[in-house]
C-alpha cells in the first residue's frame, strides 16, 4: 500500500505537469495559469464529488437492508472481517452485471452494484465481487482512480481546445497541425495514464479479495459470468459513463475500436488464471 501511495503521487504529479505543459504550449504564461487552475479544480472536484459523479452516471440510488438483505449481510460480514467501517450501499437499475466502489476514504466509501449483477450471481460469487470492491477501498484505490480520471479529462479537454487556438500563422503556439496532433494524442495520453494506474490495481484488488473472502474461485467464477453479461449487454459509450468506467470491476463497453484502446481493465482470462493459481487449481 505504501508503494501504491508513492506511485500514485508520481502519476498525479506527471499528470498535473502535463496539463501545465500543454497550457504553456497553447497560451504561454496565461496558458500556464489557466492550466494550473484547471488542474487544481479537477483535483478538488474529484476529491469532494467523485462519488456523486459516478453514482449519477449510473443512476444509482441507496438501498436499504430490507430491500437487499443478502447484499447487506455480505458487506457487513466482510467489513467486520477486515475491521473496517461498513460502506454505504447503492444499486444501479442497469441490467448489465457490474459493480464499483467510490468515495474519499473507507469512512466515506460507497459500494454500488447493478441490478443485473444481483440477478446473475449466486451468493458466493456476489461475496467475491463485494470483496473485490472493498479491497479497492482498503487499498486506497478509489480516490486515486477518481482524481486520475478527472485530470485525464482535463488533458483531453485541453487537446480539443488546442484546435481553436492553434490556427495562427506566426511561430507562436502549436499551429493547426500541432493542435490537430494534440486532439488525437490527448485522449490517447489520458487513456494510457488511466491504464497504467488501473490494470495493476485490478490484479491487486482480485488478490486482496481472494484473501479477504478465502475463496479465490468464487471471484473467478463471477468474473467469467460478468464478462459474458457485459458482452451481451454493453453500455453506450457516452461521456458520463466513460468517466466512471475505469472504476468498474469489468469494462462496461463493447471493447471494440476506441473502447478497446482506452480499456483500463486487464483481460478477464488473465485475472481468472491468477485467481485459480491462488487456489491451487489445476485444469
Distance CA 3, CA 14 (A): 17
Distance, in Å, from the CA atom of 69 to the CA atom of 50, rounded to the nearest integer, reads 27
Condensed to tens digits (0 to 9), the pLDDT of residues 47-64 reads 677 788 889 989 999 999
Query: All 3 cell numbers of residue 159?
Result: 487537446
Tell me the per-residue pLDDT of 181-208, one tens digit each, with 9 for 90 and over: 566 655 666 565 666 566 788 999 999 9
Q: What does pLDDT average to over the chain? A: 81
Taking the CA atoms of 238, 242, 247 and 249 in sequence, report the sign of the dihedral they define: positive
pLDDT for the residue numbered 263: 62
- pLDDT top residue among 195 and 231: 231
pLDDT of residue 256: 56
Burial class (CB in 10 A: 0-12, 13-18, 19+), 26: buried
Residue with cell 495493476: 200
The full length of the chain comes to: 283
- Across the beta sheet with 88-92, the strand order is 61-62, 88-92, 110-114, 99-102
Question: What is the average per-residue pLDDT within 11-32?
Answer: 72
> Rounded to an integer, what distance in angstroms lies between the CA atom of residue 110 and that of residue 55?
9
The reported pLDDT for the residue numbered 237 is: 80
* Residue that has been written with the C-alpha cell 430491500 in this structure: 67
For the stretch 156-162, contacts whose Cβ atoms lie closer than 8 Å and that sit 24 or more positions apart, written own/partner, are: 156/186, 156/187, 156/190, 157/38, 158/19, 158/22, 158/23, 158/26, 158/35, 158/38, 158/182, 158/186, 159/22, 159/183, 159/184, 159/185, 159/186, 159/187, 160/186, 161/26, 162/22, 162/26, 162/186
- Annotated catalytic sites, by residue? 133
Mean pLDDT to the nearest integer, 247-265 = 71
Its pTM stands at: 0.80
pLDDT of 25 reads 73
What is the rounded CA–CA span in Å between residue 198 and residue 192?
10
Q: Which residues contact 46 (CB under 8 A, 6 or more apart)?
A: 143, 146, 147, 149, 150, 151
pLDDT, tens digit, 9 for 90 and up, residues 211-221:
999 999 999 99
Model pLDDT for residues 132-180, shown as the tens digit of each residue: 999 999 988 877 776 666 666 666 666 666 656 554 545 455 555 555 6
Amino acid at each position: 500500500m505504501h508503494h501504491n501511495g508513492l506511485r500514485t503521487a508520481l502519476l498525479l504529479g506527471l499528470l498535473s505537469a502535463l496539463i501545465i505543459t500543454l497550457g504553456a504550449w497553447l497560451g504561454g504564461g496565461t496558458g500556464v495559469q489557466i492550466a494550473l487552475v484547471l488542474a487544481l479544480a479537477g483535483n478538488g472536484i474529484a476529491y469532494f464529488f467523485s462519488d456523486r459523479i459516478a453514482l449519477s452516471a449510473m443512476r444509482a440510488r441507496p438501498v436499504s437492508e430490507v430491500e437487499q438483505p443478502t447484499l447487506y449481510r455480505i458487506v457487513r460480514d466482510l467489513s467486520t472481517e477486515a475491521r473496517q467501517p461498513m460502506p454505504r450501499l447503492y444499486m444501479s437499475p442497469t441490467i448489465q452485471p457490474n459493480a464499483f466502489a467510490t468515495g474519499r476514504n473507507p469512512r466515506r466509501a460507497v459500494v454500488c452494484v447493478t441490478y443485473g449483477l444481483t440477478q446473475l450471481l449466486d451468493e458466493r460469487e456476489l461475496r467475491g465481487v463485494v470483496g473485490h470492491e472493498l479491497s479497492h477501498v482498503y487499498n486506497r484505490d478509489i480516490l486515486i482512480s477518481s482524481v486520475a480520471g478527472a485530470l485525464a479529462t482535463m488533458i483531453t479537454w485541453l487537446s480539443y481546445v488546442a484546435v481553436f487556438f492553434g490556427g495562427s500563422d506566426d511561430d507562436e503556439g502549436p499551429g493547426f497541425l500541432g493542435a490537430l496532433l494534440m486532439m488525437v494524442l490527448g485522449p490517447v495520453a489520458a487513456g494510457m495514464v488511466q491504464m497504467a494506474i488501473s490494470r495493476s490495481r485490478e490484479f491487486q484488488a482480485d488478490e486482496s479479495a481472494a484473501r479477504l473472502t478465502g475463496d479465490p474461485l468464487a471471484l473467478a467464477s463471477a468474473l467469467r459470468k460478468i464478462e459474458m453479461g457485459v458482452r451481451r449487454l454493453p453500455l453506450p459509450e457516452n461521456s458520463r459513463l466513460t468517466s466512471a468506467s475505469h472504476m468498474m470491476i469489468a469494462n462496461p463497453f463493447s471493447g471494440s475500436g476506441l473502447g478497446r484502446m482506452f480499456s483500463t481493465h486487464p483481460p478477464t482470462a488473465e485475472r481468472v488464471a491468477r485467481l485459480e493459481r491462488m487456489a491451487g487449481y489445476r485444469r
